[in-house]
Amino acid sequence: MKRAQLAAAPVARASAHREVRSTPAPTTDKRRRRGSRGQVLVIFAGALIALLSLCAVVIDVSWYWASTLRVQRAADAAALAGVVSLPGDIPAAEATAVVAAGQNGYTVSNSCQADGKTPVNVPGMCAVPDPTNDRQLDVTVSEPVNTFFMRLIGINSITATRSSKALYVLPVPMGSPEAYYGIYQLNCASGKTGCPSGTNYNTIGAAPGDTGGNPRSQGFFGAVSSQGGNTTNGDLIDPAHDGSQANPHYNPNGYYYTVQIPSDGGAVYVFDPTFCALGQMPSKAYYGEGDHWVGSVDPNGMSTFYTLWNTNRLPLQPSRWTNVASSGLMFQGEFQSDQSLTYGDPGTGTGTDCSAANHSLTPSDGGYWHNKWWAVGQTTSSPTYAQTHLVAGTYELQIATTDATNSSTNVQNMFSIGVVDGGAAGTQVYGNGTMANWYNVTGGTSTFYLAQIAPTYAGKTLQINLFDVGDTAANSYLKIKSPDGGGTGGTQKYVDFTYTSATLEGTAGPSGSVTAGSNGLQTTVCSSSCSVPFNDLMLTISIPLPSTYGTSTLWQSGWWQIEYDVSSANDLTTWAVDVVGNPVHLVVP
């Protein structure tokens, strides 16, 4: 047995050996397939990582973009809020901008680097007036934006910095490019003796202290109606009534006239600030065209209030203006008339006669200043009063008639304004966006200063509103003259325009277009009788300003004019001029 077992052993080993050898070895294709499966796994893992990384980048970038929008809105809000304090109060502009940024979630202080436009810190803010335009506020806000997936590669936040620029545009100057406003002629009425020769004789004379001689006529007087008056007479702002209903445009604050005084030592004067009826009182012959009752004499009389405000270079914030002079009650409840029979004679009438001798002796009495220059606030006869008390700056002369004593009085007070500042360049007075005027056209063509439009308005639309225009007794035509006529030194040209009209309640009136080569817009149509198509209507004229406006020299620094062609006319109208767009707006880069 033992020998047999030994003999069989090799056979078993051999069998086992053969069995092992009989198992086939893996082929090359199979090894490749297994290798491919491994590569796909690696590629899939890499692609997944890349996809996740891309998603992470998209998420972080999207979050950053959304955050920059919030930063931009904060910068915009800060610039718009702060700019209204310029140019007079830079600290207030900056502080207001900081408050507005805080209200939008960015509570930061105002601190700028040496370049004057970059915040010192992050988060941080820099709000400063523009170096080339003192009515523009430049704001930059920086804020860290936290990341999500970028943290994996060490980027915890990205700084978002956005800038904004806000600009405010004041109402356009109207009516005068000079140191006088509302200068016209004092006609001599029939029946008076001693009348000067010629119907255009200027009897006003210069304001005290002005060595430049008589101011030249501008074709109209400034005008204001009483609170109890009616818009049908032509004043859009001061009367409280529009026919039998309330005037929707009534403003108890009246009109404002901007006064520029470039150097210390000046005064603002009003010619004939008092109310003194002329031409329509029941007795004697009167002293030409001027103040008058529209209806019967009201014993409550006419009240006019003059207030001079120092804007402190904050023209958009009346609450921060300073009252420097006013008329008080000097011109309250006036119902006198000029009853002199001789031209220039103060007369010897009663206390109701504003040309009477007793008034000529009492400067604190409003009637004393009939056809005289009155320095705002003056109550003495000293000719040098108030000539040097105003410091350099921008002022607003407010003229209003709201008063309980004349709530039913229907009258009109005409005046002129003069500014004396030693003849300094830049001394000026003009209507502030809206003005009422009384013109007395004796015949032919008259041209009036309308508004000053700067080259910065190129590409926008000029809008001219004329209320109750054309109340004449003869055919009348209106044209518009642009200062952008080209040529050396600047020339004028007539322009095309479109127009619409409507009542104050919105009922549409005539509309159409006018070409530059035509007779103009006919505002009074007369044949056997006359019709006035724009009576008690707001006439709105639109003129597109070309993109090239102001690229050549503008005539008289951009003053537009109205040309009025009529045989004769006496009319009170209200004018307003604007450039379509917001007065406070962002500046698009």
Sequential DSSP letters for 273-337: -S--B-S-SSSS---SS--EESSSPPTT-B--EEEEEE-TT-TT-GGG-EEEEE-TTTTSSB--B
- Nearest C-alpha neighbor of 577 from the set 244, 235, 174, 177: 174
In the block, residue with structure tokens 């053969």: 18
d(CA 287, CA 135): 47
Residue 277 domain-assigned (yes or no): yes
Residues 400 and 472 in one domain: no
Answer yes or no: is 174 within a domain. Answer: no
Residues, the chain: 589
Q: Are residues 154 and 187 in the same domain?
A: no
Same domain, 97 and 162: yes
Residue 133 belongs to some domain of the structure: yes
Q: What is the pLDDT along the chain (589 residues), one digit of tens a residue?
A: 444 454 444 444 444 444 545 555 555 565 555 556 667 777 777 776 777 667 777 787 888 888 889 899 999 999 999 998 888 788 989 999 999 998 888 878 899 998 888 899 888 999 999 988 888 999 999 999 888 877 777 788 889 999 999 988 778 999 999 999 998 877 666 666 666 655 444 678 888 888 777 888 888 899 999 999 999 899 999 999 998 899 999 999 999 999 999 988 889 999 999 998 875 444 444 445 578 887 766 777 899 999 999 999 888 789 889 999 999 999 998 888 777 766 666 554 455 677 666 666 788 888 888 888 999 988 887 766 655 578 889 999 999 999 888 888 888 999 999 998 866 788 999 999 899 998 876 667 889 999 999 998 889 899 999 999 988 878 889 999 999 998 777 899 999 999 999 999 889 999 999 999 899 999 999 888 889 999 999 999 999 999 999 999 999 999 999 998 887 677 889 999 999 877 788 887 6
Residue 504 and residue 578: Cα distance in Å, rounded?
18
199 within a domain of the structure (yes/no): no
Q: What is the DSSP string of 343-388?
A: TT------TTBTTSHHHHT-TTSGGGGTTSEEETT--S--TTTTSS
- Looking at the structure, do residues 429 and 508 belong to the same domain, yes or no? no
Q: Write down the pLDDT at residue 16.
A: 45
Contact, 163 vs 77, CB < 8 A? no
Look at residue 565 and give its three-state secondary structure. strand
| Pair (428, 469) in one structural domain | no
| CB-based burial, 91-113: b 16+ in 10 Å, e otherwise | ebbbebbbebbeebebebebebe
**Nearest alpha carbon to residue 94 among 83, 103, 105:** 83
**Same-domain pairing of 377 and 463:** no
CA geometry: angle at 266 spanning 436 and 560, to 5°? 35
Dist CA 185 CA 187 (whole Å):
6
Count: domains in the chain: 3
- CA 324 – CA 330 distance, rounded (Å): 16
Q: How far apart are CA 485 and CA 497, in angstroms?
A: 16
Nearest to 577 by CA among 415, 383, 430: 430
User: In this predicted structure, what is the pLDDT of residue 219?
Assistant: 85
* Residue 504 counted as domain residue: yes
Among residues 420, 441, 462, the one where a domain terminates is 441
Question: Which residues are bridge partners to 434 per DSSP?
Answer: 576
Q: Give the per-residue pLDDT at 314.
A: 86
Q: Is 445 exposed, middle or buried (0-12, 13-18, 19+ CB in 10 A)?
A: exposed
Give the C-alpha separation, 30 to 23, whole Å: 16
Question: Smallest Cα–Cα separation from 256: which of 432, 109, 87?
Answer: 432
Same domain, 234 and 274: yes
Q: Are 558 and 483 in contact (CB under 8 A)?
A: yes
What's the Cα-to-Cα distance from 524 to each of 98, 131, 219, 448, rounded to whole Å?
56, 51, 19, 18
Amino acid at 323: N
Pair (352, 482) in one structural domain: no
Q: Are residues 431 and 454 in the same domain?
A: no
Task: Based on the fold, state whether residues 361 and 459 are members of the same structural domain.
Answer: no
- What is the spatial order of strands in the sheet that 157-168 belongs to? 124-129, 136-146, 157-168, 584-586
Write down which residue in 383, 415, 441 finishes a domain: 441
Q: Answer yes or no: do 409 and 514 share one domain.
A: no
Of 441, 459, 492, the last residue of a domain is: 441
Tokens of 314: 């904050």
Answer yes or no: is 573 within a domain: yes
Q: Classify 34 as helix, strand or coil.
A: helix
Closest CA to 225 of 400, 363, 39: 400
> Would you say residue 325 lies in a domain?
yes
290 and 370 in a single domain? The answer is yes
Q: Identify the pLDDT of residue 284.
A: 46
How far apart (Å, rounded) are the C-alpha atoms in residues 219 and 222? 10
Query: Which pair of structure tokens corresponds to residue 534?
Result: 């724009």
Residue 210: inside a domain, yes or no?
Answer: no
Is residue 76 helix, strand or coil? helix
- Residue ranges making up the domain that contains 57: 31-168
